[in-house]
Amino acid sequence: MTLKTNLIATVAALSLAGSITGALSAQDFSKVEIKAEALRGNISVLYGAGGNIGVSAGDDGVFIVDDQFAPLTDKIKAALAGISDKPLRFVLNTHFHGDHTGGNENLGKGGAVIMAHDNVRQRLSKGAFLKAFDMKMDPAKMAALPVVTFNDKISLHMNGEEARVIHVKNAHTDGDSIIFFKGSNVIHMGDTFFNDRLPFMDVSNGGSIDGVIAAAKAVLELANDETIVIPGHGKVTDKAGVQAYLVALEASRKIVAAMKAEGKSLEDIQASGALADVNANWRANPEGWVKKYIGFVYNSLK
């Protein structure tokens, strides 16, 4: 698969997952606008196409969480320049999917240090297959690979605060991290949290409903009523937003698990409308998405 074909396939698959803005419906990156929102202290968020980018900018330089797609790198750099004139020093990938790591090669060649969980480097270096979308991801080039990896926790001490990076097991994938900017009281959850719909769990690459639930609980233990939470997709929220998300996750798991235990097939559960109330009480999910979500839950239950 060529780079161009792989990119288009990635966009198409992730658009189906609801994780790309409507501006990408025709894969036209030229029309994507990167918008910055100051949150608190040194922390901002960039919205564009793909995963939300967390930004720490201060006297020590710039540190970002995720980097969206390669064609957006120049726009992302311009947005960062509007926040700080300091150099970009570190990029942390919350997981390996292309809408969060697509800019790695460009930024790595530019001198930024790429960081991620051990499994992110492994998935990127070997390539991966996203069964949910029948999509192959080719191995990444050397410059796109994380050069600093960790297996549990790691901290960056920059811009007057500690950024605590915590691995959450088998959640959205098998390599997810959440990042707690302690001084600013801001948490970036990556794709363990979709604040605009029920989440995509990449079961073929280690994701699971129980892991996503555990990630939400871990964040709730860290957060207080003043915490700002950056989701992987959707607008920033707070502790109450994560709590509402957890309620939807646990309710949907309970329903699907009970029906699976009764011997119902995946197709039976998808056709039953079993999650109608959960869907109504959470977010507006795209047509057909709830059925896909049921598949993620069903296939990840042990």
d(CA 198, CA 10) in angstroms, rounded, equals 20
Helix axes 239-261, 289-300, angle to 10 degrees: 70
Residue range 61-84: mean pLDDT, rounded: 97
d(CA 302, CA 300) in angstroms, rounded, equals 6
Residue 27: predicted pLDDT: 61
Residue 20: predicted pLDDT: 33
Beta bridge pairs of residue 91: 64, 114
Residue 284: predicted pLDDT: 84
pLDDT tier at 177, thresholds 50, 70, 90: very high
Residue 9: pLDDT over 90: no
For the stretch 110-142, pLDDT in tens is: 999 999 999 999 999 999 999 988 889 999 999
Residue 256: pLDDT over 50: yes
Highest mean pLDDT among 11-25, 237-251, 268-282: 237-251
Residue range 70-93: mean pLDDT, rounded: 98
Residue-range domains of the chain with CATH: 3-240 (3.60.15.10)
